[in-house]
Amino acid sequence: MKPMKRRDFLKSSLVGLGALGVGSWISACSPEKGPAGNNTPIPSAALSGTEVPQINTPDIPSATRTVSGDSFSGAYLAVARGGDDPEALTRKAVAAVGGMQRFVPNGASVVIKPNMCVPRPFETGATTNPLVVAALVKMCLEAGAKQVKVLDYPFGGPSDAVYESCGIAEKVREAGGLMEVISRVKFVKTAIPDAKRLKETEIYDEVLKADVLINVPVAKNHTMAQYTLGMKNLLGVIQNRGVIHGSFAECIPDLNTKVRSTLTVVDAVRIMMQHGPTGGSPDDIKKIDTVIASPDIVAADAYGVTLFGAKAQDIDYIRSAAERGLGSLELDRLKIEEINVG
């Protein structure tokens, strides 16, 4: 896909501003309300020949999907890069960590959670690339999923309008998936037994009920949290995000002890280097044509921040999540496969 011209970029930005209003844009970095979470577990990381810490999976209902203890011995984390085909990047990355059939059993209900926070096209770096999301929908259905729902609770307007504006709705429908329009009555007050601070929050029912949760953030800078990737992307499944902003270091790991991503796929086709989470200028964006995949959300985030020249140990919520056993940030201990697609 050709890079977006500055004139087109600014035009789309102004349209987004008009739709949101100044107050909504300010709310991107202040207390706000958003959708709910899911209980699908992250797999433990026993890969043959690889020294990997065990990942805890507390309070996981028996009905949810897990790949803990399976015999897969391939990549623990995969990075596909190059070319100009987001679907090819996505397929290569997921194949390297076992393929979608490893994560999606026949007849499973799947929820895919992209970043659709504001009504802006993916070229702005604010929302997940529609072609990455559509590729995941196709792969889930190919693996035998009963249904695939795609959802987010935007802070920039009604969910259905934002879905259309960012281009994801059209591609998901073409791929055979369903866009779940957020309903406030479907948030469920949910206890988080392993929380240090976020002891209870309202989580979106569809996420709680799904057999599989695929988390597909876009990699971007965030003025308060430093970076937003997989773990922080789950703020889009709870109703009141303001409580998270009180302490990212504790609350983001708290949420991730309850809302378990079966697979995390990081869209780094375009990354937002500054002025996140909404951006505002083409100068904020760097096109690097990369997709990261791992069943370990901490590892995916740890690798993701390296794209910005950062270290996971320096990001409070990632370090805290690793210390609490939610995954590994020690990339030099993991079996990582680098794939050149282009």
Lookup: tokens for 63 = 């009905």
Q: What is the mean pLDDT of residues 285-298?
A: 97
Query: For residue 224, what pLDDT is reported?
Result: 86
* More confident call, 42 vs 330: 330
pLDDT tens-place string over residues 144-190: 999 999 999 998 889 999 999 999 999 999 999 999 999 999 999 99
Other Cβ atoms closer than 10 A to 102: 19
The tens digit of pLDDT for each residue in 80-126 reads: 999 999 999 999 999 999 999 999 999 999 999 999 999 988 998 89
Q: How far is CA 329 from the centre of its chain?
A: 17
The answer to whether the CB of 238 falls within 8 A of the CB of 201 is: yes
DSSP 8-state assignment for residue 234 = G
Q: How confident is the model at residue 29 (pLDDT cuts 50, 70, 90)?
A: very low
For residue 20, what pLDDT band results from cuts at 50, 70 and 90?
A: very low
Q: Give the count of beta carbons closer than 10 Å to the beta carbon of residue 140.
A: 28
What is the phi/psi pair of residue 123, to 5°? -60, -20
CA distances from 289 to 84, 198, 212, 268 (A): 7, 36, 26, 6
Please enumerate in sequence order all residues whose Cβ is within 8 A of that of 313, keeping only pairs 6 or more positions apart, or say none: 319, 329
For the whole model, what pTM was predicted?
A: 0.82
The percent of residues above 70 in pLDDT, for the chain, comes to 80
Position of tokens 């999540």? Answer: 321
Question: Once rounded to an integer, what is the mean pLDDT over residues 191-197?
Answer: 96
Q: E strand or H helix at 39, and its extent?
A: none
The region of weakest confidence among 53-62, 227-236, 282-291 is: 53-62
* CA distances to 75, 224, 299 from 319, in Å: 22, 16, 11
Q: Which domains does the chain have, with CATH numbers?
A: 32-340 (3.40.50.11440)
Burial of 197 (C-beta count, 10 Å sphere; 0-12/13-18/19+): middle
